């Protein structure tokens, strides 16, 4: 490969990058300390031990003073345009921070993993289980089968559709997509965004030709669907448990660049036709979490003025992205009118995906991913929005609702608390039925109920989900706010 010959590569070892706070005074203090240490090592004299300790104290004092001065100078240079990531980077450098990638001996309760290869194999086994259909209950399996039987013809490749969203990609689209890509670790092919940005006009045109060929043939290269997982331990969790690691997926940058192109096409299709529910604020241009918060806040303020009660339910989807039903997603895409190249490309994109775990220089076997959207994928948030788009479709219009990706909420305002509760319970039952049909399950433990009222509410009043009482709380964090 030309890149191997032309672009130097480092060893990959993590070397702490020193902050440029070293000065001549620090240098001289260290030199004197080292001289004192060599003298002590040679003579073993008690006075020389005292001299060494004094020299060591001078080093610590010099470095501490220089760090303090350097930090003050840095803080005084910070302006309104400073990047917060640069600030945190400086703090970590000042603290001598470095990441350690040493994984301890792992145990899954049945066996131990000692070598890096054994650890990688145990990790990939654990992580692939997260997406396994074996996690489904019998009721969830039946729900999927019933839905699948109604839409058998839909989950097959579609004829080509003459639509502007299915035409070949343009050079302008490719350049715009490439400009949005942030530098990150590449996949197995080791092609990175910076290489693509430095291509000549001829080179970038060839990339566009490859993308349009894939788009026309609706067949994605297998390497673009392979992810190398680097496990990162979850903070505060037992490092010996393989389930306590967060997967960071490294996939082909070429594949991710094409995902960005397709994402733009589907997003344009959905927004132009207005088929996305208006209560969805997540990952949509011109919208944010504040939209959902303001909708609920408006109802609460109206209730305060009219001395009414607002009953709100904050929903939590179990394994929202991990266990998303791929066939169900394709059905939803068809129902929104997505067809032709967009539909067929997406069908190939979502099927036969695999993961491998890499620890050190060792890589595990490949495991197929049965369910879920690709981890770290550009297009995954949009796909989830499509899947959950009609979650409140059967709920009465007078029931308030909001969505921010997988964070959903329902509420109703009224004077009669029992009647208000009844209507919210009816809405919850409809949402429960929807989840059963489309392969979702809502968490009973994490779904919470809140009453916004000046009245005293009987503690025995409850709302149910799957026949179990939901917890009532007096405060919670809703989309970043309490």
Neighbour count for residue 206 (Cβ, 10 Å)? 12
Residue 416 CA to residue 422 CA, distance in Å, equals 10
Give tens-digit pLDDT for 225-240: 999 999 999 988 898 9
Nearest C-alpha neighbor of 151 from the set 15, 7, 330, 277: 330
Domain boundary among 95, 124, 155: 95
Specify burial of residue 56 (Cβ count, 10 A radius: 0-12, 13-18, 19+).
middle
* Tens place of pLDDT per residue across the chain (482 aa): 556 666 666 655 544 445 456 788 888 999 999 999 999 888 888 898 899 999 999 999 998 888 888 888 888 888 777 777 777 777 777 666 555 567 888 998 888 999 999 999 999 999 999 999 988 888 888 888 888 888 877 767 666 667 788 999 999 999 999 999 988 889 999 999 999 999 999 999 999 999 999 999 999 999 999 999 999 999 888 989 999 999 999 999 999 999 999 999 999 999 999 999 999 998 888 888 888 888 899 999 999 999 999 999 999 998 888 999 999 999 999 999 998 899 999 999 999 999 999 999 899 999 999 999 998 899 999 999 999 999 999 999 999 999 998 889 999 999 999 999 999 999 999 999 999 999 899 999 999 999 998 888 777 788 999 999 999 998 888 876 54
Rounded to the nearest 10 degrees, the angle between the axes of helix 253-273 and helix 340-350 is: 140
Looking at the structure, tell me whether residues 152 and 220 fall in a common domain: yes
Looking at the structure, tell me whether residues 260 and 312 fall in a common domain: no
List the domain range (segments joined by +) for residue 447. Answer: 292-317+388-473
> Among all chains, which residue has been given the structure tokens 């919470």?
448
Looking at the structure, tell me whether residues 334 and 243 fall in a common domain: yes
Rounded to the nearest 10 degrees, the angle between the axes of helix 171-180 and helix 253-273 is: 110
Angle subtended at Cα 398 by Cα 396 and Cα 401, rounded to the nearest 5 degrees: 80
Structural domains in the chain (count): 3
Looking at the structure, tell me whether residues 267 and 167 fall in a common domain: yes
- Residue 387's Cβ-side half-sphere holds a number of Cα atoms within 13 Å equal to 26
CB 386 within 8 A of CB 325: no
Residue 251 CA to residue 259 CA, distance in Å, equals 11
At residue 169, φ and ψ (nearest 5 deg) are -75, 155
Residue 269 CA to residue 385 CA, distance in Å, equals 14
Asked if the structure places residue 336 within a domain, the reply is: yes
Looking at the structure, tell me whether residues 36 and 171 fall in a common domain: no
Asked if the structure places residue 151 within a domain, the reply is: yes
Nearest C-alpha neighbor of 438 from the set 173, 66, 145: 145
Looking at the structure, tell me whether residues 87 and 195 fall in a common domain: no
Residue 188 CA to residue 78 CA, distance in Å, equals 39
Asked if the structure places residue 2 within a domain, the reply is: yes
Looking at the structure, tell me whether residues 161 and 22 fall in a common domain: no
String of b and e for 75-89 (b: at least 16 CB within 10 Å)?
Answer: eeeeeeeeeeeeeee
In CATH, what number is assigned to the domain containing residue 422? 3.30.70
Asked if the structure places residue 162 within a domain, the reply is: yes
Looking at the structure, tell me whether residues 339 and 307 fall in a common domain: no
Domain boundary among 339, 357, 377: 377
Which sign does the torsion angle of CA 278, 282, 287, 292 carry?
positive
Looking at the structure, tell me whether residues 248 and 336 fall in a common domain: yes
Residue 195's H or E segment, with its range, is helix 193-197
Asked if the structure places residue 382 within a domain, the reply is: no
Asked if the structure places residue 286 within a domain, the reply is: no
pLDDT of residue 8: 62
Domain boundary among 342, 357, 377: 377
Looking at the structure, tell me whether residues 228 and 366 fall in a common domain: yes
Looking at the structure, tell me whether residues 343 and 201 fall in a common domain: yes
**pTM for the model:** 0.77
> Among all chains, which residue has been given the structure tokens 């921010």?
404
Task: List C-alpha distances in Å: 430 to 140, 193, 203, 391, 427.
Answer: 16, 45, 53, 9, 5
> Among all chains, which residue has been given the structure tokens 């703090």?
91
Asked if the structure places residue 284 within a domain, the reply is: no
The β-bridge partners of 412 are 311
Looking at the structure, tell me whether residues 12 and 154 fall in a common domain: no
Three-state secondary-structure class, residue 450: strand
Residue 293 CA to residue 279 CA, distance in Å, equals 11
Asked if the structure places residue 61 within a domain, the reply is: yes
pLDDT of residue 150: 80
């Amino acid at each position: 490969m030309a890149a191997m010959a032309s672009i130097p590569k480092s060893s990959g070892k993590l070397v702490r990058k020193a902050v440029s706070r070293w000065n001549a005074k620090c240098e001289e203090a260290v030199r004197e300390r080292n001289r004192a240490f060599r003298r002590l090592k040679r003579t073993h004299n008690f006075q020389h031990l005292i001299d060494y300790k004094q020299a060591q104290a001078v080093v610590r004092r010099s470095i501490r003073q220089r760090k303090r001065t350097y930090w003050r100078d840095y803080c005084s240079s910070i302006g309104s345009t400073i990047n917060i990531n640069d600030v945190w980077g400086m703090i970590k450098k000042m603290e001598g921070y470095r990441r350690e990638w040493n994984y301890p001996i792992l145990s899954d309760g049945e066996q131990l993993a000692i070598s890096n290869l054994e650890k990688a194999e145990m990790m990939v086994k654990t992580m692939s289980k997260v997406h396994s259909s074996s996690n489904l209950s019998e009721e969830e399996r039946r729900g999927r089968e019933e839905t699948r039987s109604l839409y058998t013809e839909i989950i097959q490749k579609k004829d080509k559709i003459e639509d502007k969203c299915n035409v070949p990609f343009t050079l302008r689209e490719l350049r715009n997509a490439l400009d949005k890509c942030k530098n990150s670790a590449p996949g197995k092919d080791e092609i990175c965004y910076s290489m693509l940005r430095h291509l000549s006009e001829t080179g970038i045109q060839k990339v566009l030709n490859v993308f349009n060929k894939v788009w026309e043939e609706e067949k994605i290269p297998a390497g673009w669907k392979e992810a190398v997982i680097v496990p990162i331990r979850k903070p505060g969790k037992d490092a010996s448990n393989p389930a306590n690691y967060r997967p960071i997926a490294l996939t082909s940058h070429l594949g991710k660049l094409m995902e960005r192109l397709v994402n733009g096409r589907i997003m344009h299709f959905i927004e132009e036709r207005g088929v996305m529910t208006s209560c969805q604020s997540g990952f949509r241009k011109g919208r944010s979490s504040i939209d959902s918060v303001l909708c609920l806040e408006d109802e609460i303020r109206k209730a305060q003025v009219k001395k009414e009660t607002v009953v709100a339910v904050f929903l939590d989807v179990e394994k929202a992205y991990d266990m998303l039903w791929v066939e169900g997603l394709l059905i939803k895409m068809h129902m929104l009118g997505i067809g032709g190249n967009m539909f067929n490309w997406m069908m190939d994109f979502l099927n036969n995906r695999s993961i491998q775990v890499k620890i050190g220089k060792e890589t595990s076997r490949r495991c197929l991913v049965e369910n879920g959207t690709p981890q770290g994928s550009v297009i995954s948030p949009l796909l989830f929005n499509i899947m959950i788009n009609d979650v409140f479709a059967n709920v009465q219009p007078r029931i308030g609702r909001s969505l921010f990706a997988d964070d959903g909420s329902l509420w109703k305002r009224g004077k009669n608390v029992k009647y208000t509760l009844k209507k919210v319970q009816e809405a919850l039952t409809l949402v429960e039925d929807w989840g059963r049909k489309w392969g979702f399950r809502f968490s009973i433990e994490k779904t919470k109920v809140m009453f916004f009222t000046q009245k005293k509410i009987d503690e025995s009043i409850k709302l149910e989900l799957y026949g179990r009482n939901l917890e009532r709380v007096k405060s919670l964090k809703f989309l970043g706010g309490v």
